[in-house]
Amino acid sequence: MNVKSQIKSTLSSILVVLISILSANAQHTDAKSAELLNALIAVNGGYEALAAKKDVQFHYVYDNFDKGKDVSTERHIFHGEHSWASYEQHDLNVMPGKKGIAIQSYVDNKPALTLDGKPITDPKAIGGTIFLRKVNFYWFAMMYKLMDPGTNYKYLGTEKVGDVTYDKVSLVYDADITKKEKNDEYILYFNPNTHLIDQFYFSLPDWGIEKPILKMTLTYEKVDGILVTTVRKGFMPNEKGDYVPIGEYTFSQIKFNNGFKKEDFMLN
């Protein structure tokens, strides 16, 4: 066997191994989607690289322009996905219309909420706490969680956006695996030059948006060796089908490995 044939054979063997690793987590994944996902993991290091940082704290501004802002200090522990946040401003998703510091926690799948130190037990507010603690963790860690159990991928071909011809991949979740009644759907746009996902379309069934018609664009920064999507811009179609801005969501003051313990997140 000549050198060229040996290299080709070796690369083929590596691809088969990578696809089999991915398929162990994702129930249905075609070869092209596996190739794109593994190229992304080669760039960002995958969830192991993120989890090695133990935990994270950051300043989060959820800005829906004229509708108002939620401004929080977020803390998340990667092992166990425990979550905590203190909201200095909460116009939109946390006790809207109420004054004071709102603190949410989600530890061992148990939610808690206080307003100026007083426990809040309203079922709607507690349901919102569960939703936000899960979704805020996911938005921060999304690019490292694409191998989560229950993920199903399908290659959708290419689409040119600006000067870049993107590879598009559909992501849906297996409800039997996630144990969720409602699962978001995504269409991911992989940049062939950087191997990162520059934008995606998504559904939000918890808010009544059943199809992936919402759009998010992403800006990355490297913090302590970790690629973080520090700026996300949201868009939705208007009555003419044109996409208009609906919000900008920023992570700043990001610090990993703070030594948090899940007990630190519990609200007594």
How many domains, the chain? Answer: 1
Q: pLDDT (tens digit, 9 = 90+) per residue, 104-147?
A: 999 999 999 999 999 999 999 999 999 999 999 999 999 999 99
Residue 121 Cα distances to 99, 104, 219, 230, angstroms: 17, 12, 37, 33
> How confident is the model over 178-222, as pLDDT tens digits?
677 778 899 999 999 999 999 999 998 878 899 999 999 999 999
- Split at pLDDT 50, 70, 90, the class of 27 is low
- For residue 2, the model assigns a pLDDT of 53
- pTM, to two decimals: 0.86
Task: Please report the sign of the dihedral spanned by the C-alpha atoms of residue 81, residue 133, residue 41, residue 32.
Answer: positive
pLDDT for residue 24: 43
- In which band, very low, low, confident or very high, does the pLDDT at 7 lie, cut at 50, 70 and 90? very low
DSSP per-residue letters across 47-81:
HHHHHTT-EEEEEEEEE-GGG-EEEEEEEEETTTT
- CB count within 10 Å of CB 84 equals 24
Q: Using alpha carbons, list the distances in angstroms from residue 216 to 88, 198, 230.
A: 25, 9, 13
| CATH code for the domain in which residue 186 is found | 2.50.20
Task: Note down the domain range covering 170.
Answer: 3-265
- Distance, in Å, from the CA atom of 250 to the CA atom of 61, rounded to the nearest integer, reads 5
